[in-house]
Structure 1
Amino acid sequence: MSSLEDQFDAACATGDIPGVVLVASGVDGAFMYQKAFGMKSPTEQMDLNATFILASCTKLMTSIAALQCVERGQVGLDDDLGEVLSELKDCDIITEFKEGTEEPILKKAENKITLRQLLTHTSGFGFERANPLLRRWRKSIGGQSQNKKGMSLMEFATKPLIFEPGTSWSYGASTDWVGILVMRLNDMSLEAYMQKYIWDPLGIKNITFHQELKPEVKQNLVTLTMRGEQGVYVIGQPTDAKVRWIDDKLYDDPVADEFGSGGAVGSAVEFIKILESICADDGRLLMSETIDEMFSPQLSEDCQKKFNEMMNYLATIQQSATQKPPSKLGHGLAGSILMEDRESGSKSGTLSWGGLPNLLWSIDRQSGLSWMYACNVVPTGDVKSRQMMRLFEEEMCKRIGEL
């Protein structure tokens, strides 16, 4: 069988993927892998200095920031956040629209929104693009955009809930509210907070919300690519189409606001330093007991059921890429948790999450392995990208296991 490197070289050469940065490391320093493949623009080779639209990989940093606030006693995981986030004090839940009108029918939420709910996406917030009621509501108030581009943070985050807090699971603006919470508790921007409490302690220089503040981040940003003719945010069916270069940045640049759910841009080589710190439990970002809680399943039975429905739907779309049954997943305080060992891959307890342009990070504390796959392909959930991610995961697990 061809080596990992040969397979990635071939995938890039044929246009299956444009280019990718692969990074992995072990907790004891005996294992490290960093390699770039393919192209970062139509005329430039990919290199380890490349920076990426991190999208929802930003959520890990925002979650760490909030958990640091918990450690300081600034907020509790199960506190009612209405005192700090007054916008969440009396939330409305959208149920339907009055017949023949564009007037939404709203009811007041009975449960209070907590930080734990925001971190686990059980708060009731959803995304317009995934919920027809919210799309109709946004249109009814004169809004058009369904994503962060062209919208302020508060405009994007402020919307009705789609279920009673704590009773179900939905991907949405929850982590944006986590970022707002961190900013208000500390009276500083999310950029300034992360610089002081996450990036500086780890020597990270090339991650930011504001590309104009860090010229190297902007200079080294990969060009986006798209497979087929699907919309950027559409999770599509498998396709044999090759990727093509497109002129879309996903974010406004410069950007006025800092979106905790997906606003950062940065280097994979730098981002993995965060994964390494958490995996090693080195105390530079979080206390041991906080890390243990981060990796603990958080969902109730009803929330777990809804989460599994969503993840199984995504796995069904991507099944032809992996030819493996969906893994059993839970949800921690910063991402999904693998509830059983994956064949030839990560161990039970592994925490991971991704980013829209087919990025994925993973922390496997059992094996002591952290890794990140950084690419620039839309739409999200791209089958070929998922196939290459799985290949990388299995090879890194194999190599660290052979030490």
Structure 2
Amino acid sequence: MKKLLLSIIIISTFFGCRNEKKVIEKEPSPLNAYFQNSTLPAAIMGNVTREGKMEWSAFGSSVWDGTDTISENNIFRIFSMTKAIASVAALQLVEQGFLSLDDPLNELMPEMTSIPILTEDGDLYNSEASITLRHLLTHTSGFGYDFTSARLNNFKPESWEYEDKPRLFEPGARWHYGTSTDWVGKIIEKVSEQDLETYLRENITGPLEMNSTWFNVPDDLTEKIVSWGTRDSTGFNEYDRIPQQPVTSYSAGGGLFSSPRDYLTFLKCLLNDGKFDNGQILKAESVEMMFKNQLPSNMSMDHNLPDEGLPATVGQFPDESDTYGLAWAIENSEEEMVRTKGSAYWAGIANSYYTVDKKNGVAIVYFTQFLPFNDKESYDFYRLFENEVFSEIKAN
């Protein structure tokens, strides 16, 4: 497992071709110097206060090697940043009495709870233990990803009748990052009798006027989609920027496109306990639960990192000392030098990140758009921006 995870997050040394970089900055800052000395093709970052004041810093072009300047209105593949939006959707249904955090889902979702468990020895068995919505939202359900589990990555049966790969352990036994939130999306669809795109538009992204946030970006917005691709020892290699086919199965765990402005609008709403100008998407007590550790006692996020730690070329995003709420990681360290203890944070696999610090009343987003995840240059840029924002707060 350790070799598998390490092979996924280790990135090549940064030898990419450097192009002249277009920058918009209100005044010279460490951010400007960092970008000019980096190999990053583009980045956009912003912060919002609880009162709604937004500030942005933009570097590079929306299309790699282009002539424009990337902006907060460009559209990105946000991948696992989708999870927080789906979590809010599920909690809306809990508030309305359609779901419970702790009731068994066996009758509602037999196609999920009937999936066998794969043991360390490679044997399969059926479990009678119930999976709950809380298990799914906290990633303690037993579901994993191929890239977080050697067992799943190596699982290649001759036939398989289930909608997901095997579970890895009994519900509630430990934390493991995986497809749990995709199952949350299927539950939302079944209970609401709507597809996930429609549900989110009617209940979250529409009311918040997040009009650049879609599973299928409307044709009149596709030109706002930014370049994305991979980095290797030769530089950056671009994938198709605009999707070639619409999706018909909506991934609540990682399928949304969104703009930095839209996502910061969503986080601002949660800073304000679910309130926005025209109403409330979630009750204050539900938002409060999102910022509380929801893992059982003595359980933390276990990324199965190498004993020697991560290489110097890899960002330090995985922090096994932190805990997990109902949507994101919760900062658990008193020694954290930037965000405060109790802040929420997470990321998308194409090197995008966010922070929500309720104590200081500020949320932060940071977007680049390439693989592999945990690129040190990108992660360090996010942390530098975070430091700049919080340093200004402390100074004032």
TM-score range, shorter chain: 0.7 to 0.9
- Specify which structure has the higher proportion of helix: 1
Give the paired residue count. 366
**TM-score normalised by length of structure 1:** 0.83
Aligned mates of 1:75, 1:325 — CA distance in 2 = 31
Instruction: Give the direction of change, closer, same or farther, for the CA distance of 1:188–1:325 in structure 2 (3 Å limit).
Output: closer
Aligned mates of 2:27, 2:168 — CA distance in 1 = 44
Aligned mates of 1:194, 1:76 — CA distance in 2 = 19
Alpha-carbon offset, residue 120 of structure 1: 0.7
Match of 1:187 in 2: 193
Query: Among residues 47, 61, 67, which one is paired with 2:85 in the alignment?
Result: 61
Instruction: Give the direction of change, closer, same or farther, for the CA distance of 1:109–1:5 in structure 2 (3 Å limit).
Output: farther
2:154 counterpart SS class: helix
Match of 1:235 in 2: none
Query: Among residues 289, 292, 296, which one is paired with 2:292 in the alignment?
Result: 296
Match of 2:175 in 1: 169
Q: Is the 8 A contact 2:317 2:379 kept in 1?
A: no
Match of 1:272 in 2: 264
The answer to whether residue 383 in structure 2 is matched with residue 379 in structure 1 is no
Instruction: Give the direction of change, closer, same or farther, for the CA distance of 1:186–1:324 in structure 2 (3 Å limit).
Output: closer
Instruction: Give the direction of change, closer, same or farther, for the CA distance of 1:246–1:182 in structure 2 (3 Å limit).
Output: same
Aligned mates of 1:96, 1:336 — CA distance in 2 = 27
Query: Equivalent residues in 2 for 1:153-302 (5 A)?
Result: 158-211=164-217, 213=218, 215-216=220-221, 218-229=222-233, 243-248=235-240, 253-283=245-275, 284-301=280-297
* Cα deviation code 1:87-145 (max 9, x no counterpart): 12333101256xxxxxx6211123211100100110000112332322232x32469xx
* Cα deviation code 1:231-275 (max 9, x no counterpart): xxxxxxxxxx7x414225697732121100000011011111110
Aligned mates of 1:276, 1:315 — CA distance in 2 = 38
* Cα deviation code 1:189-245 (max 9, x no counterpart): 11111101101221111000012x3531x211111142225xxxxxxxxxxx7x414
Instruction: Give the direction of change, closer, same or farther, for the CA distance of 1:75–1:319 in structure 2 (3 Å limit).
Output: farther
Match of 2:9 in 1: none
Query: Equivalent residues in 2 for 1:107-118 (5 A)?
Result: 107-118=125-136
Instruction: Give the direction of change, closer, same or farther, for the CA distance of 1:326–1:294 in structure 2 (3 Å limit).
Output: closer
Query: Among residues 88, 92, 96, which one is paired with 2:116 in the alignment?
Result: 92
Query: Among residues 115, 123, 144, which one is paired with 1:105 in the alignment?
Result: 123
Query: Among residues 20, 24, 30, which one is paired with 2:43 in the alignment?
Result: 20
Match of 1:237 in 2: none
Q: Is the 8 A contact 1:9 1:38 kept in 2?
A: no
Q: Is the 8 A contact 1:223 1:376 kept in 2?
A: yes
Which residue identity lines up with residue 251 of structure 2 in the other structure?
A: F
Aligned mates of 1:215, 1:386 — CA distance in 2 = 32
* Cα deviation code 1:146-200 (max 9, x no counterpart): xxxxxxxx97x52210111110111111000000000110000111111011012
Aligned mates of 1:352, 1:314 — CA distance in 2 = 24
Q: Is the 8 A contact 2:303 2:318 kept in 1?
A: no
Alpha-carbon offset, residue 320 of structure 1: 6.6
Match of 1:340 in 2: 333
Q: Is the 8 A contact 2:351 2:370 kept in 1?
A: yes
Instruction: Give the direction of change, closer, same or farther, for the CA distance of 1:265–1:309 in structure 2 (3 Å limit).
Output: closer
Instruction: Give the direction of change, closer, same or farther, for the CA distance of 1:249–1:162 in structure 2 (3 Å limit).
Output: farther
Instruction: Give the direction of change, closer, same or farther, for the CA distance of 1:160–1:321 in structure 2 (3 Å limit).
Output: closer
Instruction: Give the direction of change, closer, same or farther, for the CA distance of 1:51–1:271 in structure 2 (3 Å limit).
Output: same
Match of 1:126 in 2: 144
Alpha-carbon offset, residue 333 of structure 1: 0.4
Alpha-carbon offset, residue 8 of structure 1: 3.6
* Cα deviation code 1:19-43 (max 9, x no counterpart): 11111011123x4312221122222
Identity %: 29
Instruction: Give the direction of change, closer, same or farther, for the CA distance of 1:380–1:26 in structure 2 (3 Å limit).
Output: same
Instruction: Give the direction of change, closer, same or farther, for the CA distance of 1:163–1:363 in structure 2 (3 Å limit).
Output: same
Q: Is the 8 A contact 1:4 1:391 kept in 2?
A: no
Q: Is the 8 A contact 2:313 2:375 kept in 1?
A: no
Instruction: Give the direction of change, closer, same or farther, for the CA distance of 1:325–1:352 in structure 2 (3 Å limit).
Output: closer
Q: Is the 8 A contact 1:22 1:374 kept in 2?
A: yes
Instruction: Give the direction of change, closer, same or farther, for the CA distance of 1:343–1:161 in structure 2 (3 Å limit).
Output: closer
Uncovered stretches (5+) of structure 2, i.e. residues with no partner: 1-24
Q: Is the 8 A contact 2:83 2:253 kept in 1?
A: yes
Instruction: Give the direction of change, closer, same or farther, for the CA distance of 1:78–1:326 in structure 2 (3 Å limit).
Output: closer
**For structure 1, which segment, 340-349 or 118-127, has the greater mean C-alpha deviation from structure 2 after superposition?**
340-349
Aligned mates of 2:247, 2:317 — CA distance in 1 = 41
Instruction: Give the direction of change, closer, same or farther, for the CA distance of 1:336–1:326 in structure 2 (3 Å limit).
Output: closer
